[in-house]
């Protein structure tokens, strides 16, 4: 995705192929490859980026094909109206399917898309008006203004223009606010939701875009072949799209194109070669494909794109923070006056089966205060965090933020109100840069959606989001690591990344779960000064930390938990002198 510099060369290659004396056979091969690449690109978005598996792409190809074929044959309207109809039906059915299936996890979506593929196949095959299993014939060709696109070189250029424009739009999408949110969802929704991101919304968008790409492919196919027939849209084809994408590289847009190309060419060549080699005819290519897939998954789990990529010139992505230091910055919320109660936790309780992890805990945080939540491992500190941010539902009790009850709100709405957090077990996107990861924290402060991204109309806002991410990273001392892949960071900087990301939300209350674990002495000192600075800006902080020197140094107030219950609370010296705390927490005898 990052090395799409060759995107500029691709249109030239397509035009060259069209004017050079390339045999017609290959031109038609390339057309088919382009038609396959579109639904596969949808799968890159859905499966590669978001981890959702769909066998239903062929069904959406069918909708695009049948809608336009039927409309042009029965009404005489132009194929462009057919495209519109196909996209409309596709979008509506994708949205309905998404609402039924996307909220459920696990195998529900793949199974539902299989059912969808089967159902649609039989529907196409049984409807009188769609020509039953014979399909529809004599579908008119495409006309672009006065240009008759035809079915030869013209169609080749037309198809590949659409493929390359789609690839460009998707690349932009993946490198946008929307794309970052989508990538945040792949490994679970907790972190994304804590950043104020609705995971369902982005799954829905990806599912619809994937379906629409498939639908466009069907539209092209119908007017290329001048006929439609259910066999091209069955479940087998749905599986094949997934197969092509995985072979090419499900994580890369280029992978969809390479996968479609390799599969189509291999398929044709094997059908000719294998009978010659073996001496009898039969669908042996299916067996060979099966073997190829298994071998590929073993040795090239990221697909063939990995190999292709090595030969491409590297084009470094330029992030909009560079050279535009004076780009406008995001508006900030006004911080609270000191002494107002910002958080009131009243008798919150969490039971896991028989285990009471948090047992009727109550405490307050005043605006501008740093409160430490301490206690031995397993005391219930992280669970308390999860209850405040509603990552876990409370069994009972209330949490008030700025005077309003929040325990019934969704995690993302709590983030939206101004509570942000880090996780004890760092949650970041390993294959995204530090800067992009942190920009995720500023998600709710931006508004540009997928359409703006695909059209390239989000540049100004992107600059502001990255500017903010950079500012927060510099503040935690990570200004020199902006463009490293987050996955390559040692533990300490990973934690700082999470803090910077949490700060990007412009929170009024920051919850830090063991931020100093894995930090070196110097980094800890730097962290302490960052915390003090944040406090001086009016931010309130709830800190879970095992480094007692740091806790005693930085906290105004301490809440001590043991086995889920509140042991005591008070200022650091009171807590330090408490025999009960020493016994429980420090393991010192009374
Ligand atoms: P701390 O952060 O203070 O070390 P936790 O809040 O992580 O403690 O855990 C408190 C207790 O709750 C532990 O006994 C832990 O095993 C249990 N616990 C935490 N999360 C879950 C969960 N999702 N399901 C069941 N038990 C849990
Ligand atoms: Mg914990």
User: What local confidence, expressed as pLDDT, does residue 314 receive?
Assistant: 65
The number of C-alpha atoms within 13 Å of 56 and in the hemisphere containing its C-beta is 29
Give the closest residue (by CA) to ligand 1 atom 14: 378
Is 485:431 a contact under the CB 8 Å cutoff? yes
User: What local confidence, expressed as pLDDT, does residue 146 receive?
Assistant: 85
Q: How far is CA 492 from the centre of its chain?
A: 25
Is the distance from the beta carbon of residue 190 to the nearest atom of ligand 1 less than 6 Å? no
Q: Does residue 494 register a pLDDT over 80?
A: yes
Q: How far is the CA of 421 from the centre of ligand 2 (A)?
A: 13
Domains, the chain, in order of start with CATH, read 7-233 (no CATH), 336-418+507-590 (3.40.50.300), 434-504 (no CATH)
Residue 198: φ, ψ to 5°: -80, 110
For 560-585, write each residue's pLDDT tens digit: 999 999 999 999 999 888 888 888 76
Q: How far apart are CA 423 and CA 388, in angstroms?
A: 13
Is 500:472 a contact under the CB 8 Å cutoff? yes
Q: What percent of the chain has pLDDT over 70?
A: 94
Is 394:414 a contact under the CB 8 Å cutoff? no
Element spanning 559, H or E:
strand 557-562
Question: Which residues are close to ligand 2, an ion, with C-beta < 5 A?
Answer: 381-382, 424
For 186-211, write each residue's pLDDT tens digit: 888 899 999 999 999 999 999 999 99
User: What local confidence, expressed as pLDDT, does residue 150 receive?
Assistant: 84
Task: For a ligand 1 pocket test, name from 355, 356, 387, 565 the mutation site with the most ligand atoms within 8 angstroms of its C-beta.
Answer: 355
Mean pLDDT for all residues in the chain:
90
Is the distance from the beta carbon of residue 386 to the nearest atom of ligand 1 less than 6 Å? no
Q: What Å distances lie between residue 220 and 133, 141, 569, CA to CA?
A: 20, 9, 69
Confidence band (pLDDT; 50, 70, 90) for 3? very low
User: What local confidence, expressed as pLDDT, does residue 108 receive?
Assistant: 85
Task: For a ligand 1 pocket test, name from 373, 377, 383, 387 the mutation site with the most ligand atoms within 8 angstroms of its C-beta.
Answer: 383
Q: Which residues are paired to 536 by β-bridges?
A: none
Stronger pLDDT, 586 or 590, i.e. the higher one: 586
Give the closest residue (by CA) to ligand 1 atom 16: 378
Is the distance from the beta carbon of residue 527 to the nearest atom of ligand 1 less than 6 Å? no
């Amino acid at each position: 995705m990052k090395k799409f510099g060759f995107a500029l060369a691709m249109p030239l290659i397509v035009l060259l192929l069209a004017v050079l004396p390339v045999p017609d056979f290959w031109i038609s091969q390339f057309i088919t490859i382009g038609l396959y690449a579109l639904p596969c690109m949808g799968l890159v978005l859905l499966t590669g980026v978001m981890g959702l598996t769909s066998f239903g792409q062929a069904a959406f190809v069918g909708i695009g094909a049948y809608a336009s074929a039927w409309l042009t044959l029965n009404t005489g309207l132009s194929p462009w109206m057919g495209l519109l109809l196909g996209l409309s039906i596709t979008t509506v059915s994708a949205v309905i399917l998404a609402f039924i299936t996307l909220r459920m996890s696990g195998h529900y979506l793949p199974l539902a898309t299989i059912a969808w593929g089967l159902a649609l196949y039989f529907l196409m095959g049984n409807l009188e008006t769609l020509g039953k299993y014979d399909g529809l014939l004599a579908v008119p060709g495409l006309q672009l203004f006065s240009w008759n696109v035809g079915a030869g070189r013209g169609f080749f250029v037309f198809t590949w223009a659409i493929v390359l424009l789609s690839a460009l739009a998707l690349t932009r999408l993946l490198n946008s606010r929307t794309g970052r949110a989508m990538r945040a969802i792949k490994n679970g929704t907790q972190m994304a939701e804590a950043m104020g991101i609705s995971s369902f919304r982005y799954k829905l968008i990806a599912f619809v875009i994937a379906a629409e790409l498939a639908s466009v492919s069907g539209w092209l196919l119908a007017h290329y072949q001048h006929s439609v027939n259910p066999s091209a849209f069955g479940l087998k084809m749905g599986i094949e799209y997934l197969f092509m994408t995985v072979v090419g590289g499900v994580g890369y847009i280029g992978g969809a194109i390479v996968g479609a190309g390799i599969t189509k060419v291999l398929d044709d060549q094997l059908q000719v070669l294998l009978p010659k080699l073996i001496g009898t005819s039969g669908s042996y290519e299916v067996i060979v494909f099966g073997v190829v897939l298994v071998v590929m998954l073993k040795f090239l789990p990221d697909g063939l794109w990995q190999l292709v990529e090595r030969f491409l010139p590297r084009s470094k992505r330029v992030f909009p923070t560079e050279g535009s230091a004076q780009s406008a910055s995001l508006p900030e919320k006004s911080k609270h006056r000191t002494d107002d109660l910002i958080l009131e936790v009243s008798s919150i309780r969490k039971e896991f089966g028989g285990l009471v992890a948090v047992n009727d805990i109550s405490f307050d945080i005043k605006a501008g205060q740093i409160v430490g939540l301490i206690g031995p491992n397993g005391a219930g500190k992280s669970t308390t965090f999860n209850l405040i941010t509603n990552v876990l539902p409370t069994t009972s009790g209330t949490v008030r933020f700025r005077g309003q009850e929040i325990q019934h709100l969704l995690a993302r709405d709590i983030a939206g109100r101004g509570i942000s957090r880090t996780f004890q077990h760092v949650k970041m996107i390993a294959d995204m840069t530090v800067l992009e990861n942190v920009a995720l924290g500023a998600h709710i402060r931006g508004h540009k959606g997928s359409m703006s991204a695909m059209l390239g109309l989000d540049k100004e806002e992107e600059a502001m989001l990255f500017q903010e991410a950079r500012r927060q990273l510099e503040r935690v001392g990570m200004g020199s690591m902006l463009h490293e892949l987050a996955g390559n960071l040692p533990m300490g900087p990973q934690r700082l990344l999470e803090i910077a990301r949490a700060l990007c939300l412009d929170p009024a209350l920051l919850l830090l779960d063991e931020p100093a674990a894995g930090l070196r002495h110097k980094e800890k000192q730097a962290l302490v000064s960052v915390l003090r600075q944040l406090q001086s800006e009016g931010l309130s902080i709830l800190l879970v930390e095992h480094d007692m020197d740091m806790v005693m140094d930085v906290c105004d107030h301490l809440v001590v938990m043991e086995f889920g219950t509140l042991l005591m609370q008070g200022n650091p010296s009171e807590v330090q002198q408490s025999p009960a705390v020493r016994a429980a927490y420090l393991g010192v005898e009374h």
